[in-house]
Amino acid sequence: MVFSALFLALAYVLPFLTGQIPEIGSMLCPMHIPVLLCGFVCGWKWGLAVGLMAPITRSLILIMPPLFPTAVCMALELATYGAVAGLMYRRLPRRKINLWISLLTAMVIGRIVWGGAMFLCVGLSGGTFALSAFVAGAFTNAIPGIILQIVAIPLILMLIERLRQGRKVTE
């Protein structure tokens, strides 16, 4: 529970840091990283909870991202990230390749959930959400964040694993 609270706090604070880089700040997807890490470290239930809470909490307190449809759809996307990452990481054998498989699967399924949620929410509002808007929002505009996630998350998880193993040896 403590680690989940830490990941939720990081998801709340990281957008302030990346927002200082106007050209690519939002493209770095700063809330995604703590949620994915939470799923890997704390398990699927906590990853799902932190993913649901992070965008909604930021929206209610800071009005960023806007609650509807952005924060609602992000909450579903991030909840999917946390849940899928946690489930797959626990179920697959502990090999480095499975870490990447879990991460990439969570990222793809989360983006599909986001696209479906946006399609429904925008449709309920009387608008349209075209395939080109999905591709731009889920992939093209998010390339810096996708690269950051693919590089940073496995490195952070390997570091955490080494720290855990070192702690077991010294205890």
For 130, list phi and psi in degrees, rounded to 5: -80, 160
Q: Angle 72-91/32-42 helices, nearest 10 degrees? A: 30
Q: What is the pTM of this model?
A: 0.92
3-state secondary structure at position 38: helix
d(CA 25, CA 36): 18
Cβ atoms of residues 4 and 45 within 8 Å: no
pLDDT at 169: 53
Task: Return the structure tokens found at 51.
Answer: 């993913």
Number of Cβ within a 10 Å radius of residue 13: 13
d(CA 117, CA 69): 8
Residue given tokens 């946690």 in the structure block: 86
pLDDT at 166: 79
Q: How far is CA 171 from the centre of its chain?
A: 33
pLDDT at 168: 63
Structural domains for the chain: 2-170 (1.10.1760.20)
pLDDT at 170: 55
Each residue's pLDDT tens digit, 118-159: 999 999 999 999 999 999 988 999 999 999 999 999 999 999
d(CA 41, CA 57): 22
Q: Indicate the pLDDT class of residue 89, thresholds 50, 70 and 90.
A: very high
Q: Identify the residue with better confidence: 19 or 121.
A: 121
Residue given tokens 């810096």 in the structure block: 144
